[in-house]
């Protein structure tokens, strides 16, 4: 199969990425993620921790060098946003991206038990028992969307629920912090995505209960 086709197929499958990893039974394993730091900025802080919202590009390779994933070809080349340590990505990536700062680059090797295990993924694109290698470039480490500090910060009128206006304003400020310009349509799609995933009762607000699904902070 031609590489680019493979990539497209995988990207389609990848939209199920978070779904797939949620509820996935991880086997107990002593296998470890191997981390090589390729670039470390002089000022390396803050360092990422569980619950932080990260913005990163990453390329994925099989051990034989075949590239199976490329975040740069997805979503108009915008780096991906995800919450660290909550199963939005495979277990190995959650481990591999801890303690990482903005601007840092890592090459990480993830054993099958912390990736797609015995079953593999995407109809053989990732075969069973495959070790995966990712090259990661981290652009931003921000306080996670699920921290109590962040909730209070977003909830400007202090009514214990987040309106679209409040979140829109917060996102705008966050995006202004890094100097990579983003167009309005990207901004809108992030906002829409946030409500689709979090406003479970559909009332147009994200309540503290809806917000705090990972419960690593008490509201
Ligand atoms: Ca509010
Ligand atoms: Ca709601």
Q: Measuring CA to CA, which residue among 150, 118, 122 is closest to residue 53?
A: 150
Q: Minimum-distance ligand to the CA of 203?
A: 2
Same domain, 111 and 156: no
Could you list which residues have their CB under 5 Å from ion ligand 2? 199, 201, 203, 205
Residue 164 maps to which CATH number? 1.10.238.10
CA of 174 to the centre of ligand 2 (A): 23
State the residue range of the domain holding 152: 148-211
Q: Which ligand is located closest to the Cα atom of residue 167? A: 1
- Please identify, among 142, 163, 184, the residue that sits at the C-terminal boundary of a domain: 142
At 193 the pLDDT is 85
pLDDT score recorded for residue 173: 85
Domain identity same for 135 and 158 = no
Question: 219 alpha carbon to ligand 2 midpoint, in Å?
Answer: 16
Q: Do 109 and 21 share a structural domain?
A: yes
218 assigned to some structural domain: no
**Do 122 and 152 have their domain in common?**
no
Quick one: 35 and 137 in the same domain? Answer: yes
Distance 12 CA to ligand 1 centre (A): 36
Would 219 be classed as within a structural domain? no
Mark whether 99 and 166 lie in a shared domain: no
Q: Whose CA is closest to 122, among 191, 66, 75?
A: 66
Q: What is the reported pLDDT for 71? A: 83
pLDDT at 219: 41
Domain boundary among 120, 142, 164: 142
What is the reported pLDDT for 145?
57
| Same domain, residue pair 155 and 205 | yes
CATH number at residue 116: 3.10.50.40
Q: How far, in Å, CA of 26 to CA of 92, rounded?
A: 11
Ligand nearest to the CA of 205: 2
> Residues 133, 22, 202, CA angle at the centre, nearest 5°?
130
Structurally, the chain folds into a number of domains equal to 2
Are 138 and 155 found together in one domain?
A: no
The answer to the question of residue 217 being in a domain is: no
pLDDT of residue 12: 44
**Cβ partners under 8 Å of residue 88, min gap 6:** 17, 18, 21, 82, 94
**Residue at 216 is within a domain:** no
Q: Of 88, 118, 142, which residue is a domain's last?
A: 142
At 15 the pLDDT is: 41
Q: What is the pLDDT of residue 177?
A: 76
CA 207 to centroid of ligand 2, rounded, Å: 5
Strand pairing of 53-62 and 80-83? antiparallel
Domain identity same for 137 and 152: no
Q: Tell me, yes or no, whether 8 and 71 share the same domain.
A: yes
Residue 180 CA to ligand 2 centre (angstroms): 31
Kindly give the distance from the C-alpha atom of residue 74 to the centroid of ligand 1, in angstroms, as a whole number: 33
Is 105 found in the same domain as 62? Answer: yes
Residue 164: inside a domain: yes
Q: pLDDT (tens digit, 0 to 9) for every residue of the chain, 219 residues total?
A: 454 544 444 444 444 443 344 434 444 445 899 999 999 999 999 999 888 889 999 999 999 999 998 888 876 778 888 888 888 899 999 999 999 999 999 999 999 999 999 999 988 889 999 999 999 999 999 876 567 777 888 999 999 999 999 999 988 887 787 666 677 788 888 888 889 888 999 999 999 888 865 544 444
One domain, residues 28 and 111: yes
Give domain status of residue 177, yes or no. yes
- The whole-number pLDDT of residue 24 equals 41
- Span from the CA of 203 to the centroid of ligand 2 (angstroms): 5
């Amino acid at each position: 199969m031609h590489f680019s086709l493979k990539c497209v197929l995988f990207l389609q499958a990848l939209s199920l990425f978070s779904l797939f990893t949620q509820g996935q039974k991880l086997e107990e394993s002593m296998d470890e993620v191997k981390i090589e730091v390729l670039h470390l900025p002089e000022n390396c802080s803050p360092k990422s921790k569980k619950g932080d919202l990260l913005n990163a590009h990453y390329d994925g390779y099989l051990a034989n060098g075949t590239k199976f994933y490329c975040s740069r070809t997805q979503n108009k080349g915008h780096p991906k946003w995800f919450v660290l340590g909550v199963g939005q990505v495979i277990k190995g990536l959650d481990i591999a991206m801890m303690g990482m700062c903005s601007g840092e680059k890592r090459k990480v090797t993830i054993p099958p038990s912390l990736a797609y295990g015995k079953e593999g993924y995407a109809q053989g694109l990732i075969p069973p028992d495959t070790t995966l290698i990712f090259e990661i470039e981290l652009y931003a480490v921000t306080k996670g969307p699920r921290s109590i500090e962040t909730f209070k910060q977003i909830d400007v009128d202090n009514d214990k629920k987040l309106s679209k206006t409040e979140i829109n304003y917060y996102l705008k400020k966050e995006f202004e912090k890094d100097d990579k310009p983003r167009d309005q349509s990207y901004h809108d799609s992030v906002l829409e995505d946030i409500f689709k995933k979090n406003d479970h009762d559909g009332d147009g607000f994200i309540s503290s209960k809806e917000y705090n699904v990972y419960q690593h902070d008490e509201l």
